[in-house]
A = this chain, B = another copy of it.
Amino acid sequence: MSLIVQKFGGTSVGSVERIEAVAERIVRAREAGDDLVVVVSAMSGETNRLIGLAQAIDAQPDPREYDVLVSTGEQVTIALLCIALKKRGCEARSYTGAQLKILTDGAHTKARILDIDSANMRADLEQGKVVVVAGFQGVDEKGNITTLGRGGSDTSAVALAAALKADECQIYTDVDGVYTTDPRVVDKARRLERITFEEMLEMASQGSKVLQIRSVEFAGKYRVPLRVLSSFTDGPGTLITLEEDDGMENPFVPGLAFYRDEAKITLSDVPDRPGVAAIILNAIAEKNIEVDVIVQNIGHDGRNDFSFTVHRNELHKAQSVLEKLREELNIGGIETDDKIAKLALVGVGMRSHAGVAARMFTALGKENINILMITTSEIKITVIVEEKYLELAVRSLHSAFDLDVENPA
C-alpha cells in the first residue's frame, strides 16, 4: 500500500464530465489499495473568468482581495470532486488551503509555502478517506487567504507530498509524459521513462512547459519522486527522480528544448572595462525586462561585443533603455534581431561525455545552419539560430543524438 499525492490540472477537471472521469480514476486507485491525497486546480477557464471580473473593476486589483477572489476557483473543484466521489461510495473530504492550514508568507498572488499541518490529512487517511485539497492556495499567519501564483497547484501537490513523505507525487496533465522534444515539431519525439530533476528544470526553462518550474525545484529539494502522466489516457508517464538510474537505457542527452519568443540584442564596440555589463543589465532590470541568454566574448583593443536575449515583446522597451545609455557608456552600435530561436540540448549524461558540443555543432553545420550565439552549462548546451532554421535544427539534432523512436506512430 502506497501513499500517493495526485494532482489534476485545469484541463483534467475542466467540465463535470472530466471531474467524473477523475473520480473514476481515484476510485480505481483506491481499489488497488493506495492511500490518496488529491490536489486540484480550478476548472479550465475559471481563473481567467474571475480575473476578468476583477480587472473590469480595476486593472491592478488589490492583491489581498485578488487572492480571496481567485481562490474560489479551486474551492469549486474540490467540492465537485468530493460530490462525485461520495456518489460513488468513496469516502472523501475536501479542504481549502486555509482549512488544511497550508501556511504561506504574506506575499499575495505569489506566496511561498512555509509549513503544512498534516494532522487532519493523516486522520482522514487512517479512516480510509480520500483527502481532496484545493491547489494554488494557502493562508498566512493572520488568516488571510493567499495564492501561490499561476501554476501553483503543482507546487501545492509537491509540498503536500513532502509533508506527508508520500511515495510518489503524480501530476496528471493533458500530455502523457515528458518527451525528448516537442512531438508537434518532431514526429519521432519519444516519451522518456525517466528524467532527473536537473534535466527537467533545464527542459522546463527552455519552453517544455509540462510542469511548473518551482514545483520541480521543490520536488528535487525534498526528494519527492514526481511522475507526469495523462489524465485522459492510461500509461506510466515519465518519472522525475533525483539520480540517473544506471541500470536503465541512459542516453547522455535525454532532451532537446526550444523556444521561439526571444529577440537578440548585440551591443558592439563596448568599452571593455569592469562594471559596464552590470550598468547595462541593471538598467534593463530596472524596467522589469527579463534577460535570458547572455554572451560576451574576449575583446580586442579595449573594446568588446556584448549580446543578450530578451522576450520579443520587450525588445522595443529594451532598445529605448539602451539608446539612453549609448552616449554615457560610449557604445559603438546597437543591433537587434527578433527572427531568432533558442535551442538547447539537456542531459546530466553530458557531464561525463566529451564531444557533445562538437557533435551538436557538426550536425547543425551539415545542414548549413549558422549558430548566432552559444552558451553552455554543466548539463546544457544552448544555441541561438535564425528562426527559419528551427524545425530543421531540432529534427537534425534529434536524429544526431539517437533520440528518435524506431517506429513513430
Write the residues of chain A forming the contact surface with B, with a CB cutoff of 8 angstroms. Answer: 16, 19-20, 50, 53-54, 56-58, 61-62, 64-66, 68-69, 71-72, 75-76, 78-80, 82-84, 86-87, 93-94, 96, 98-99, 143, 145
Contacts and interface: CB of A to CB of B under 8 A. Distances in A.
A371 B179 CA distance: 81
Contacts of A53: 16, 76, 80
A68 B57 contact: no
A65 B83 contact: yes
Main secondary structure of the interface of A (DSSP, over half): helix
B58 A87 contact: yes
For the complex of A and B, the 7 pairs showing the least CB-CB separation, nearest first, are: A69-B79, A72-B72, A68-B79, A65-B82, A58-B87, A65-B79, A16-B56
Contact of A57 (B19, B98, B143): B19
B83 A75 contact: no
B72 A54 contact: no
Contacts of A86: 58, 62, 65
Contacts of A56: 16
Contacts of A65: 78-80, 82-83, 86, 94
Contacts of A57: 16, 19-20, 80, 83-84, 87
Contacts of A80: 53-54, 57, 65, 69
A86 B20 CA distance: 40
Contacts of A84: 57-58
Contacts of A98: 98-99
A228 to B, nearest CB: 27
Could you say how many copies of this chain the assembly holds?
2
Given A56-B16, A83-B66, A72 B61 contact: no
Nearest to A67: B79
Contacts of A79: 54, 65-66, 68-69
A71 B72 CA distance: 9
A143 B80 CA distance: 19
8 contacts: A19-B57, A58-B84, A58-B87, A62-B82, A64-B82, A64-B93, A65-B86, A75-B75
B83 A143 contact: no
A83 B57 CA distance: 7
Contacts of A75: 68-69, 71-72, 75
A64 B62 CA distance: 31
A105 to B, nearest CB: 18
B72 A143 contact: no
A226 B62 CA distance: 32
Contact of A76 (B19, B50, B61, B143): B50
Contacts of A83: 54, 57-58, 61-62, 65-66, 69
